[in-house]
Structure 1
Amino acid sequence: MTETKQMETAGVTDNSEMNFTVADAIVQELVKAGVTTAFGIVSIHNMPIYDAILREGSIHLVCARGESGAVNMADGYARVTGELGVVITSTGTGAGNAAGALVEAWAAGVPLLHLTGEVASPYLGTGRGYIHECKDQLSMLEGCSKQAMRLRVPHQAKAVVRQAVVTAQTAPAGPVSLEIPIDYQSAIIPDLHLQDWSVKTPEVNSNTYIPEDILSLVAKAKRPVIWAGGGVISANASQELTRLANQLGAAVITSQSGKGSIPEDHPQCIGHFAAYPDTKEMLKNADLLISVGVRFRGNETSNWKVEVPNNHIAIDADWQGINRNYPCSYGLVGDAKDILNHFVTQLQTKDVQDKPSYKAEVKQLREKLRANLRATLGPYEQIMDEMRAALPKDTVLVRDVTVQANVWGSRLFEILEPRTSIHASGGGIGQGLPTAIGAQMAAKDRKVVLMAGDGGFMVNVGEMPTAAEEALPLIVILFDDGGYGVLRNIQQNAYGRQVAVDLLSPDFVQLGESMGFDAVRIHSSDEFAVEINKAAKSVNPTIIVVDMEAVGPMAKPFEGPPGAADAFKPKKL
């Protein structure tokens, strides 16, 4: 039964045609933007919006247990679909709870619309103690969003919401927060018919074709490297990037966000190993780098100590992305899919030499990197292999910040399709569970798997009932080592001692069962093999708790990202 039918059955009267409100205008714009799912928590400062969604009837509301989790859910949904994520929170504390998760969406460049209430307009900025009042909510949201906006004139509701939607989706994409004072939400306004009417005149000398000097440089390169980032995924340009890699015989490095830009079983795919010594050496010897939608984040480049070739062609949808972290000799600003397609087409007229010896070298490097890392895993190598064997290739792998995700979940577990890899770009722990719930809402006919540690998992553990309530077949693989494993290892490496990293945790099996999950604790890699195959066939949410003390240690302890310990050792400035 639809929500509209439920309303009729319950005798709810729809007065929307008689009393069209700002809340109705907001919902109309969401529907126009193609929104079918929204996440959030109902409050006295957003009830008119919730009621308008109920009356309109086409948007499914997912009820989170906390505002932070709601934002993460909208984030995960947007990353899997490539569409706008929508989250609705309350004002003040509610908006504040959303802030950390908005930082993650901003760091990852996720198109997200955050609708939040505000105190009644006469009391804005007065400090009089209106319920849920925040001293300067707009500035707080500006600090953690791509942009923060406030509806200041009720009659402008449609125009302002549409502007927020467009801004969130325009490169560089990111979360846009929109405040709507509570008294405005119920304000009766005319139903404005708003139409975009922009006539674009073709630019003279537009970059319809790749310039000849760039094509010549690319065609002559003997040791080309492509560095693929999240911009490839955002532009839906994975096929074009793979074709260019094949055409050039190029090695392909991927950033964490760029995993899935090229299938990771491709013989030319180095993958997410940019900061490893052997990859650094390959880059030193390269005669051309083509970077596509790459941020060159500090933690992925040993804080920009990775050296890149002087011949560097940077492709980015964001003007400010050019030369932000690494200088380039040529910058191409625009849609990566279009630019890469032009490269592929125009290079067909050029004499691009085959590079059998270079491709063999690249393949050898990729195999060496993986073999060396595998040798550090100990019993977790089998766990990783059992996961890949049991799960379909279109499984969405979500990784919270935990040792196993850092070591092999982000490098050795092969991602074979775009939009099937999600991680915490901002590095914050505990966001994995709600992000995975949002991803599973977007991919109900596929499997979504979360890798998490016990410390981070407890941050948003209250969202487990949301997965059960929505009947999601989510699989949680919880690596339980009794604390913050990543920080424990970094502390030990930096100081030779540990503090504040050991945690008392609940019985995760009983906890999972009480929250509607099928739950099991495993004590060996062989037990894991049995349970992951069961979970892969189940339609119920499942949590598999990996008892890391029983399974045993890794062959080589994880010491943190390259250079992590050095950053914390005492030193003179």
Structure 2
Amino acid sequence: MTEQVEEIFTTADAIVKELVSVGVEVAFGIVSIHNLPIYQAISREGSIRLVTARGESGAVNMADGYARATGKLGVVITSTGTGSGNAAGSLVEAWNAGIPLLHITGEIESPYIHLGRQYIHECKDQLSMMEAAGKAAYRLRKPEQAVPLTRRAIGEAFAAPSGPVTLEIPIDLQSAIVPNSTIIETKSYNASHHTELDVVLPSGVISKISSSRRPVIWAGGGVIKSGAANEVKELAELIGAAVVTSQSGKGSIPEDHPQCIGYFTSTEDVRSFIKKSDLLISVGTQFRSTETALWQSFVPEEHIGIDSNRNAFNLNYDVSYGIVGDAKQVLRKIIHHLSEQEVHPEQQYIEEMKEIRNKVRETLLDTLGPYKHFAKSIREILPKDAIFVRDVTVPASSWGSRIIETYEPRTSIYAAGGGIGQGLPTAIGAQVGCQDRVVALMAGDGGFMVNVGEMATAAQEGLPIVVMLFDDSGFGVLRGIQDATFGKQVGVDLLSPDFVKLGESMGFVSKRIGSPEAFENELKAAVSRRKPSLIVVDMKTVGPVAKKYAGTPGAVPNYKPRKFNE
């Protein structure tokens, strides 16, 4: 009789089993000597798709883009020291955007941590570095704690305010044998799963809303995370409110809706419009500096704030009523109570918001010169459910994030922290998560080169992303800011490679164009072919915009010589 040998079960296996139990289907990363046991455990288990990036920074962006597009947990695996350090910048972006992400990193053997003996891949204080870059960071110190610590890290990633959490596993603990105990079944963590809580509305909130004659709803990323887009639209229509959004809140209401002013909150016209309102209902927004002209926007005295994070209240603007809770549940309760009230939206106010909606778009279009035709083509050609990713570049910052309308939640992705070069890997992650959707990236040549190697990842994975690369051979945003502020440019001119040859060498169908008509034709072809595609827009051939972009109000520091704190 052959003796049955029990299969060895390690810390790495326990972590992978926990990931599978909460519904993880994809992990992005870079394999290394300090995470090999985890990779082997994933291979043994067999159900998690591994996407190998070309750099740790890009790998984190991919997990970030995946999480934003799907609402699921993003998972990234990196190596120790330099590897985790490379991941830090992209973790900062995920922290800024509040993206639920689990970063699993190795660490040197536990007896050598903090000794400074130059162990390979050693970092002076990796855990503190990860803590500073994200929401939280935990180190496994005992193999038997692998499952509860992994569960704690995932829960922390989703808990308000959501964000990236690092789980650090020393290499000697990854292969430690642990009991193959049954893991308690848990529901998958995702944006559509909420704990039902008894939402308590402060006294007077419903009467305040029903009596308002000029209400404004400011919808942020919390609307998208909670799946509350339908509720925002229903509330707006019920009370006749204008809807403005943050960058992260695009898709909270279809942007072709007549009551949607959109992402124009930092413009003077919209700031003046909000100043005349008698009630602001803010939902899941942080009032970022770039969205309020460095907090110069007026907020009415009557301000109802709704947020799952109680610390968000009175941080940038005071609230008269603060409601802590999931946006979807809170809005549903408000709508329920309002349906029992006499609410009479004012038609004159609705007509006024339509006028301001049209005015801000026409004003911006008038500054674009030939690029207004590009904006028109992009919106007409991309499907309504296409995922539109923007890197930090002049076309995205000046018009791509405003003129090109968003119709559905999770179809607009942009770098909340303002870092360049993250667009390509973010688009790759979004495409992995939404394989049947069109994913289009708007990027500039300067930022694109930061993570250009990830084109090989897209080609290897067979991802049909469409890259619209606007090439002006430089850092265009900084050119405009320097011209407006200092009258001269420094450090902004770049030597662009032959992007068509580069793209073709990476497996992309590539073409350079120099006119709006050629762009329209090539974008149609790229969307229909469903292969990795690169459209290089020669901005020098296309010609200049009618008005130079000098930065978004609130994003450009005050460079005037002055006494400190003046």
TM-score normalised by length of structure 2: 0.96
Inter-partner Cα distance in structure 2 for 1:195 and 1:32 = 8
Query: Is residue 513 from structure 1 mapped to residue 504 from structure 2 by the alignment?
Result: yes
Amino acid at match of 1:145: G
- Find the residue that maps to 1:168 and give its secondary structure: helix
Letter of the 1:337 partner, please give it: K
Per-residue deviation, 1:299: 1.3
Q: Aligned in 2, Cα 1:452/1:305: closer, same or farther, shift over 3 Å?
A: same
Q: Deviations over 1:316-372 (max 9, x none)?
A: 011111111100000000100000011111101111112100000000000000000
- Structure 2, gaps ≥5 residues long: 187-196
Distance 1:122 1:563 in 2: 48
The equivalent residue for 2:123 is 134
In structure 2, the residue matched to 1:430 is 421
> Are positions 1:397 and 2:367 aligned together?
no
In 2, the alpha carbon distance for the partners of 1:510 and 1:195 equals 52
Matched letter for residue 82 of structure 2:
T
Compare 490-499 and 15-24 and name the one that shifted more: 15-24
For 1:503 and 1:556, locate their aligned partners in 2 and report how far apart those are by CA, in whole Å.
Answer: 22
CA contact (8 A) 2:213 2:345 kept: no
**Aligned letter for 2:280?**
L
Contact 2:202 2:321 in 1 (8 A): no
Give me the whole-angstrom Cα distance separating, in 2, the residues matched to 1:20 and 1:442: 30
Which shows bigger deviation, 92-101 or 164-173? 164-173
Match of 2:345 in 1: 354
Deviations 1:512-534 (A, max 9, x none): 00000000000101100110000
Amino acid at match of 2:167: L
2:205 to 214, 221, 224: 214
Q: Deviations over 1:51-82 (max 9, x none)?
A: 00001000000000000000000000000110
Alignment match, 1:264: 255
The answer for the alignment partner of 1:567 in structure 2 is 558
Residue in structure 2 matching 1:52, options 30, 38, 41: 41
Other-structure match for 1:363: 354
The match for 2:54 among 55, 59, 65 is 65
AA aligned to 2:81 is: G
In the other structure, the counterpart of 1:252 is 243
Q: Is the counterpart of residue 383 in structure 1 residue 374 in structure 2?
A: yes
**1:570 & 1:458 partners in 2: Cα distance?**
34
RMSD of aligned residue pairs (Cα, Å): 1.4
Structure 2 Cα separation of the partners of residues 539 and 358 of structure 1: 45
**In structure 2, C-alpha distance between the alignment counterparts of 1:177 and 1:568, rounded to whole Å:** 36
> What is the CA distance between 1:292 and its match in structure 2?
0.1
Which residue of structure 2 lines up, in the alignment, with residue 104 of structure 1?
A: 93
1:238-267 CA-partner distances (Å, limit 9, x unpaired): 001110000010000100000000000000
Instruction: Please tell me whether the aligned partners of residues 493 and 565 of structure 1 are also in contact (alpha carbons under 8 angstroms).
Output: no
1:307-326 maps to which residues of 2 (within 5 A)? 307-326=298-317
- Residues in 2 aligned to 1:565 and 1:418: alpha-carbon distance in whole angstroms: 29
**Candidates 279, 283, 299, aligned match of 1:292:** 283
Encode CA deviations 1:292-335: one digit per residue, 9 max, x unaligned. Answer: 00010011111111110000000001111111110000000010
Which residue number in structure 1 is paired with residue 327 of structure 2?
336
Cα distance in structure 1, aligned partners of 2:469 and 2:560: 31
In 2: Cα distance, 1:545 partner to 1:88 partner? 32
Distance in 1, matches of 2:267 and 2:90, equals 30
Which of 491, 504, 507 is residue 495 of structure 2 equivalent to? Answer: 504
Give the deviation of 1:568 after TM superposition: 1.8
Structure 1, residues 199-256: CA drift from partner, whole Å, max 9, x if none? xxxxxxx854534410000000000000000000000000011100000100001000
How far apart in 1 are the matches of 2:347 and 2:169? 60
Conserved 8 A contact 1:494-1:565: no
Q: Give 2:90's aligned amino acid.
A: A
Q: Deviations over 1:483-531 (max 9, x none)?
A: 0000000000000000000001110000000000000000101100110
Structure 1: runs of 5+ lacking an equivalent: 1-14, 198-205
SS in 2 for 1:68: helix
Task: Report how far residue 572 of structure 1 moved.
Answer: 3.0
Q: 1:94 aligns with which of 37, 60, 83?
A: 83
How many residues get paired? 552
Identity, in percent, stands at 60
- Alpha-carbon distance between aligned partners in 1 of 2:438 and 2:557, rounded to the nearest angstrom: 39
Secondary structure (helix, strand or coil) at the match of 1:567 reads: coil
- Paired with 2:199 and 2:243, the residues of 1 have a C-alpha distance of 26
